[in-house]
Amino acid sequence: MIPAPFEYHAPKTLEEALRLVERHGDEAKLLAGGHSLLPLMKLRLAAPRYVIDIGRVRGMSYIREENGRIAIGALTTHAEIAGSSLLLSKCPLLPETAAEIGDLQVRNRGTLGGSLAHADPAADYPAAILALDAEIVAASTGGTRTIPAEEFFVDMLTTQLRPGEILSQVRVPALAPRTGTAYAKLHQPASGFAIVGVAARITVNQGEIEDVAVGITGLGPKAYRARAVEKALRGKKLATKLLADAARCAAQGVEPLSDLHASADYRREMAAVFTRRALGRALVRAQGKKA
Ligand SMILES: Cc1cc2nc3c(=O)[nH]c(=O)nc-3n(C[C@H](O)[C@H](O)[C@H](O)COP(=O)(O)OP(=O)(O)OC[C@H]3O[C@@H](n4cnc5c(N)ncnc54)[C@H](O)[C@@H]3O)c2cc1C
């Protein structure tokens, strides 16, 4: 399939890219890894008049410590995140999640910024970004603003990004003491996208769950924090059925999607199963054991 004709721009700097998106507004689309945009253009579900390829913009691909957080440039690929020794030691949830995305080719081209900006309801990162309480930096010609992860996802394929903004950076915290994280995913067998994906972060203290965060993707039109699960666990003494009972609230307040891959009932059931698995692995890691 051949995309509709478009004018191609390949800016070398973020400033140049920002001026182009400001000038062309709704008629322009940014191109990063191209693994979501190009299929849409080839199917003519997207027909932008201007394609602004940010793939050659300098200084947008990095993973580094900044002011006690880990800052990741928007053009950092899934493969770079999966293999980052800094993230593996200080924020292992993100590499664990990145390693679950698509196949090798997708991980070598697809970018963190592209995945978050696209906001596919079955994408993996949103669950982890929510569980980590990450911050997303949006740049425009007027400067930058920081958006908390929980406010970033608005609806299916819709985020808080405004026209003229480019997602430039994501900031995640380093793992706190006595904390474990895990990502558990039910793959759609053909594409690898998540039918359900659950990211969990648990902090334990003297036999109690001191803090917990659960992000769920794939179930509804946008990824969300499973507040009912968190409420059922926070401050509770560890006990045999605690995690399984809490995991049953995974779909509370969400209308699950139903499509050719999975019915709403199946997704709801799998949300509980994979929440239980993610919590279990995160807890074992928080206790300093291998999972
Ligand atoms: C076969 C296949 C399997 C896949 N499997 C999975 C999977 O299992 N899990 C998963 O999560 N994803 C999966 N994906 C999607 C993949 O991860 C994409 O790479 C990702 O969703 C988009 O990233 P990209 O860099 O390719 O963005 P692009 O396709 O270049 O762009 C996507 C959208 O985001 C916008 N955009 C890009 N960068 C920015 C930015 N910095 N600021 C603002 N807007 C921006 C673009 O304009 C476009 O609208 C799969 C894709 C394919 C083709």
Hey, which of 118, 130, 154, 170 would you mutate to test ligand 1's pocket, going by the most ligand atoms within 8 Å of its Cβ? 118
Question: Pocket residues for ligand 1 (CB within 6 Å)?
Answer: 29-37, 39, 74, 101-102, 106, 110-111, 113-115, 117-118, 120, 123-124, 161, 166-167, 191-193
Report how far ligand 1's centroid is from the alpha carbon of 159 (Å): 14
- Give the model confidence (pLDDT) of 149-180 as tens digits: 999 999 999 999 999 999 999 999 999 999 99
Tokens representing 112 are 């963190």
Residue type, 203: T
Identify the pLDDT of residue 216. 98
Q: Atom 10 (ligand 1): residue with closest C-alpha? A: 123
Angle 145-147-148 (CA atoms, 0-180°, nearest 5)? 150
- Tens-digit pLDDT profile for residues 48-95: 999 999 999 999 999 999 988 999 999 999 999 999 999 999 999 999
How many Å is the Cα radius of gyration of the chain?
Answer: 19
- Average pLDDT on 116-125 reads 97
Q: How far apart are CA 259 and CA 266, in angstroms?
A: 11
Q: For residue 118, report the distance from its CA to the centre of ligand 1, in Å.
A: 6
For every residue of 80-143, DSSP letters joined together read HHHT-HHHHHH-THHHHHHTTSS-HHHHHH-BHHHHHHHT-TT-SHHHHHHHTT-EEEEEETTE
Q: Burial of 92 by CB count in 10 Å (0-12 exposed, 13-18 middle, 19+ buried)?
A: middle
pLDDT band at 261 (very low <50, low <70, confident <90, very high): very high
Distance 121 CA to ligand 1 centre (A): 12
For residue 190, pLDDT over 90 is answered with: no
The partner residues of 50 in beta bridges, in order of sequence, read 7, 28
CB 185 within 8 A of CB 124: yes
CA of 248 to the centre of ligand 1 (A): 31
